[in-house]
Every structure is written in C-alpha cells, then in structure tokens.
Chain A
Amino acid sequence: MTAMDEARGKPVKAGYVRPLDFKHGRVDMTHGGGGRAMKQLIEQLFAAAFDNEWLAQGNDMARVRLPAGRVVMATDSHVITPLFFPGGDIGCLSVHGTVNDVAMAGAVPVYLAVSFILEEGFPLAALKRIVESMARAAREADVAIVTGDTKVVEQGKGDGVFITTTGVGVVDERIDIGGARARPGDAILLSGFVGDHGMTIMSTRESLAFGADLRSDTAALHGLVAAMLAPVREAMRADPSRGIHALRDPTRGGLATLLNEIAGQSGVGMLIEEGAIPVRPQVEAACEFLGLDPLYVANEGKLVAFVAPQDADTVLAAMRAHPLGRDAARIGTVTEDPHHFVQMTTRFGGRRVVDWLTGEQLPRIC
C-alpha cells in the first residue's frame, strides 16, 4: 500500500482547522475577514477567555437583564505604547478605564462590550496575554464581557492593538452624582498618590529608562466608590445636598485637568493645597528630572470626590478603610469664583493658578 493509499484510507476530519499557534503565530488579514480564521480566533481566544453564557450563544449582540435603577453607559478607547508596562497592560487598562467611567456616576458596572482593532503581524502570543489580562480584570471587577468585535488593519496602519470598551452599569434612582454638582464649600478628596501611571509609561519608553521603582496604578474603582457611598447613601437619598456631589477619575491630563473640568462644569472655583497632594518621591523625582508637573500626569486608579462639608470626614474615613483609598487625602475646598479658576497654595507659601494643560505636556530644555 502506497503512502497515498494509506492517506486515502483515513477518515477526513469534517471542517478541520489547525489550532491557533499561540506560540509563534501572528495576526493576519484573514483573522478579520469574516471566514473560518476569524471564527477560530473568536472561539479559541475571546470566547474561551471571557467565557460567559452570552458569548457562548454566538450572536452579534447580547440580550441582557439589568438590575433596577438608572442605566449608566460609558465608552473608552485605549491606545498605549508600550502595550505591557509595570503594573498592567492594555488589556486590564481597557477594562479598568471603562469600569471607572461608569463607577464615577456612583453606579455598579455590570456588562462590557469590547472592540479590537488588530494590526496585521501582531504576535498571537501577545494578543493572548492581553485578552487573558482583560478576562482576569473583568472577573475581578465582576463584570461580564458580553459582546465584541474584531477588525484587522494592514501592517503599518495600527499600533499593534487598539481596544475600545463600552460599559453598562446601574445606579440607584435617587443617587445623583455628576460633574456639574460641585458646590462652594465642598471638600475635595483625592484617593491616593498621583502621577504613578503616567510616569511609569514615560519611564518605560525606550529612550527614558529611569529604572526607577514605578508601577502603574491601574485598578477598577467601583469597589472604592461603593465603600464611599455606603455610610452616606441613606442621607443622600433623603437629601440631595448631602454626601458625594461629584466623582471623577484623573486620567489623561491628570489632577489639574480634572479640577478645571469640574470647576467649569459646576461653575465654581477651587482652592487646593500643594502640600496635601500625595506624590511618591520617585514620581516627583522623575517629573523634576523631565521638567514635568505631577499634577498633569495621568492616573488610572485614582478618583477625586467633591463632598458636602458635613460628610467629608465620614467619606474620607471610608476611603482610607478601603485598600485603593489607603492614602486618601483632603486636598482642598470648592470656592465661589465666577472665573472658575483653580488656585493652589504652594508649599513655598505663594499662590498660583493651576491652569488647563496647553497642548501636550512636554519636557523643558533648561
């Protein structure tokens, strides 16, 4: 019997597709082409990692039930270089970013949708690492990734991986937290050290290896938000002037940008105390070295709360009791100011404006 005869004799495997090579394989155009390769990528990677009843149904959408309350939605696109950094990667970042946006309404995030734009040639091993990191972050945050999409762009037209996530959550009908609700007299509470994420990313870029002991602070904040709401929830339900008025996470543009945003939205001013803002020595040193201001450096696991004065101590204590708010501090007060300036008393004893960032923050020469 010849070799061919032998081969003929074997039963043909119906629809046999070689398993994805997660060791050496790369994304190619067929992975976004709508054919078998795409189906394979979805089944062997995404559905396997995110593993839930909605994805298992194989639909292009997810039909879900929501708990009672108002629905909160947010979407966030993630582009970052490098894709992997100390403390996290684009995968967990894309979960935390959107979960946090939803949480800033005081809501509980429940579902996520995710959309990947992959660049042709991107190693499947790296993609697997990213997807598994997303899955882990979603499990830890107790949200389900229920639907998604994948596109592949030609080499040179993307930066490896872009991830967009959309989140849905639910908030109590009678809890009203929003950026326009800060009032003069409110205490400004910050959940911890600023600038960790931005300086980590900057230090890992090729030409700037500080070798400093820095880690991104990327984290899901809805647990902290829930802990902050717990002691004041009933008071807030009864009297909207009580408790937490506004919440926001200082991501791109940092703390300074957040304060200016809220000042503008709420039509108020702010007065903060430089000495009260927690900054790690290594972040301060790296900023000093590059001529950057830590107040404008990005964070991915911090929040700022604007709290009615009579509840400020209670909320601050609740923050400090939570692992993500251990280093929380009261950094200032909301003021009445028709110009909506954010002012800061410097450690030096002077006073200055903390303005919007102009363009991008760039290192200074001298």
Chain B
Amino acid sequence: MKYIDEFRDGAVARGIAAQIAREVRCDRRYHFMEFCGGHTHAISRYGVTDLLPPQVKMIHGPGCPVCVLPIGRVDLAIRLALEHRVTLATYGDCLRVPASDGLSLLKAKARGAKIAMVYSAGDALELARRQPGQQVVFFAIGFETTTPPTALVIRQAAAEGLANFSVVCNHVLTPSAITSILESPEVRQFGTVPLDGFIGPAHVSTVIGSAPYEHFAQEYAKPVVIAGFEPLDVMQAILMLVRQVNDGRAEVENEFTRAVTREGNLKAQALVGEVFELRRSFEWRGLGEVPYSALAIRAEYAALDAERKFALETRRVPDNKACECGAILRGVKQPRDCRIFGTVCTPENPVGSCMVSSEGACAAHYTYGRFREIAVQAA
C-alpha cells in the first residue's frame, strides 16, 4: 500500500534500531511514555519493543479515549437508551466498555436498547434526519482528534433546527492529562516513576499543533517528540528522544512533519472554541478528577446538549478495588503487575478500562505480547 508500506519497512526499522543501539549509553536507562493509544497499538502490533535495546523502556500512557471514559458516563449513556428510549449512536470502541451492573452498551442493546454503531459524528446526524420521530443522541468521545467533527454536527443540527438530535459530550484534552501525569506524586515528588520523555500524539497534534507541548518541555524539563502512528514513526521518535536525553535537551521536536505544524489546524480550533467550553473538572478513569481537562457544550447550543435536554447527572462509580488501571495509566505499574491481569480481567471479560480497547495497555499486552512472559519452545 503506497504511503503506508514505506512507514512499515522492516529493513529501515532495523537500520534505526541499530542507530538507537549505537547511541544509547550503557550506564543509563531511558524511560519514554507514549501518550497515545495509537502508539501503544503500533508498538504492540508490530513488535517494536523487540527491536529496542534493553536500556530503552516504553511506558504506556492514558491516551486511549475508551480507557479513560469513567463508568459513570457509560452508565449515563445506558440510562439514556434504556429509560429515555433514545437511539444512542456511538463509535464501535465504546460498545463493550463495562459499566455498572454487569452492563455495557452492547448488553443494553440485547435488553432492547436502541444502540447504533456509527463511523462518524456525521452518520449520527444522518440517523436523526432519517427518523424525525425518534430522539437520537450521539455519545461523543475522544481527544482533540474527534472533537471538531462533533462541533461540526452540533453547528449543523442547530442550523437545521433539528429537534430530535443531541450530543453527550465526553471530549477530553490531551495537555491536561499530560500535566496530571507530570504533577502526580510518583513522578514529581517521589521520582518512583522515571520518565525521561514523551512520544507526543499524532492525530491530536494535527489539530492542536505542537505549541501546546512547549510548556512541558520548559516547565517539567521533559523532551517531547511528536510522532505519527506508523511503527517507523515510533522508532524514529525514540531515536530523537534518546538524542535529546543524551544532549541534556528538553525540547518539543516534530517527527510527524507530514501532518503536524506548530500552530495546528486553526479552523478546527476556532470551530471547537465556538461550540465548546472548558469543564471545570472531569473524571478520567484511572486519573480521577482532572481540572479543566474536558469540554462541555456552550449555553448557545444548550438545545443540543443531551445532558441538559434530558436533565442527566453523572453518578460517580468507583473502579473495582483489585484493578490497577489507574496506576497503569499513570505509568506507575505495568499490566503484569496487576493481580487480576489475564486471570479475572481479560479482553473477553474486561474489569478495568485498560483491557477494553485494543489501544489499552492491558489489552495490547494481552493480545500481542503475553507470550513474552512464557517461554515458547520452537519446533
């Protein structure tokens, strides 16, 4: 596949791997966090860690939209569908997220809820246009990548005066989550989580640009390299991070120049600003309440805000006690440090959020990497 295979070339990868191995210092370790689930997925799927020298350790970050969605918000979606009898439209990833009472949107569907899987916010809007007698609610999730399309359908629905469409906004912000990690006691005070740099988001950065990360580089002295989601992008970013660490630099560098600029997509940013405003605080699964980390629909578009329209309240639901997702999302623990990983908590029966989406640290490790813990005898 043109423009794709070039970024998955094994020979080039081995070249970069050799370069990384040459440049890492033997007397130190390099701990890098890939923030995005997209990177986690690429690392696991292509076996990137197999190509890295032992000094380089990758820590999986919280950048998986499904993983950080708190139980209370999924409960709210299920209530909407089961009690208010709306058609709840959402992305495929959301359907299996475990909620209270052993439910998920998929299981609610089996109980008669109208749940529609859509591929885009536009599909949800189209659903509302096609069935004027039925309330359609788009359960919007995701980081800055998926926010502009949601803003667009809200504006479109307002312009059309569509009375049977509304949106539950769960859009969250990447920079706030990174701040939350850097401010966590493990990183800032105790230094128990060594963190030498970040691989910055790919698609998110196409929208917000590279400028928002400059703060982390300056304030926390952590290098950031923005990288695409292809495995070669990740390899190249790791090499760039190693060089920054070796040189004692902490800068924002952009490996993903084919799509990311410093200021990002200004048109999309303006659109998002027009439709959304900051929430004072929002609960992230694993990170808890994070101040100014999410978006709500502005009062001007209140008629399209399902939370207002149906007078919904989010009830906080604590995570399962044995679940280590919080620590894993902050990079404090690895999936295999969790007592219930692979025993009680599996992709078939996820307890914690990291096991739900294939981008989640636990699901990625379970699906692609767990053989590493078991010696396999080749024939």
Given known pairs A336-B379, A353-B367, A353-B370, the reply for A346 and B117 (CB within 8 Å) is no
Q: Are B46 and A346 in touch, CB under 8 angstroms?
A: yes
Residue B96 lies at the interface, judged by CB distance under 8 Å to chain A: yes
Bound form: Cα–Cα A353–B119 in Å: 28
| Chain B, Cβ-Cβ closest to A338 | B377
| Chain B, Cβ-Cβ closest to A279 | B1
A contact patch SS: loop
Q: Mark A350-366, 1 if CB is under 8 A from B, else 0.
A: 11110100110011111
One of A57-65, A114-122, A232-240, A281-289 contacting the partner: A281-289
Residue A341 lies at the interface, judged by CB distance under 8 Å to chain B: yes
Residue of A208, A333, A366 with most chain B CB atoms under a 10 A cut-off: A366
Q: Which residues between 217 and 253 of chain A lie within 8 Å of chain B, taking CB atoms? A: none
Residue B49 lies at the interface, judged by CB distance under 8 Å to chain A: yes
The number of residues on chain A lying at the interface, defined by a beta carbon within 8 Å of a beta carbon of chain B, is 37
Bound form: Cα–Cα A333–B379 in Å: 9
Q: Are A353 and B369 in touch, CB under 8 angstroms?
A: yes
Residue B146 lies at the interface, judged by CB distance under 8 Å to chain A: yes
Residue B152 lies at the interface, judged by CB distance under 8 Å to chain A: no
A residues within 8 A CB of B377?
A: 335-338
Residue of B49, B203, B357, B376 with most chain A CB atoms under a 10 A cut-off: B376
B residues within 8 A CB of A290?
A: 119
Residue B340 lies at the interface, judged by CB distance under 8 Å to chain A: no
Q: Mark A167-201, 1 if CB is under 8 A from B, else 0.
A: 00000000000000000110000000000000000
Minimum CB–CB distance for A293 against chain B, Å: 8
Q: Please tell me the size bucket of the interface on B.
A: 35 or more
Residue B50 lies at the interface, judged by CB distance under 8 Å to chain A: yes
Q: Mark A311-338, 1 if CB is under 8 A from B, else 0.
A: 0000000000000000000000111111
Q: Mark B104-119, 1 if CB is under 8 A from A, else 0.
A: 0010000000000111
Residue B4 lies at the interface, judged by CB distance under 8 Å to chain A: yes
Minimum CB–CB distance for B204 against chain A, Å: 8
Q: Mark B48-79, 1 if CB is under 8 A from A, else 0.
A: 11110000000000001110000000000000
Residue A10 lies at the interface, judged by CB distance under 8 Å to chain B: no
Residue B91 lies at the interface, judged by CB distance under 8 Å to chain A: yes
Bound form: Cα–Cα A347–B377 in Å: 22
Bound form: Cα–Cα A34–B378 in Å: 61
Q: Are A366 and B37 in touch, CB under 8 angstroms?
A: yes
Q: Are B357 and A364 in touch, CB under 8 angstroms?
A: yes
One of B7-15, B300-308, B325-333 contacting the partner: B7-15
Residue B186 lies at the interface, judged by CB distance under 8 Å to chain A: no
Q: Are B49 and A350 in touch, CB under 8 angstroms?
A: yes
Could you jot down 11 A-B contacts, CB within 8 Å?
A: A207-B119, A207-B126, A208-B119, A271-B378, A285-B4, A349-B50, A351-B50, A362-B117, A364-B359, A365-B93, A366-B143
| 16 further A-B pairs in the complex, CB-CB below 8 A; given A334-B379, A349-B47, A365-B93 | A284-B1, A288-B4, A341-B371, A343-B376, A346-B45, A349-B50, A350-B47, A350-B48, A351-B50, A352-B45, A352-B369, A358-B367, A359-B96, A365-B91, A366-B143, A366-B359
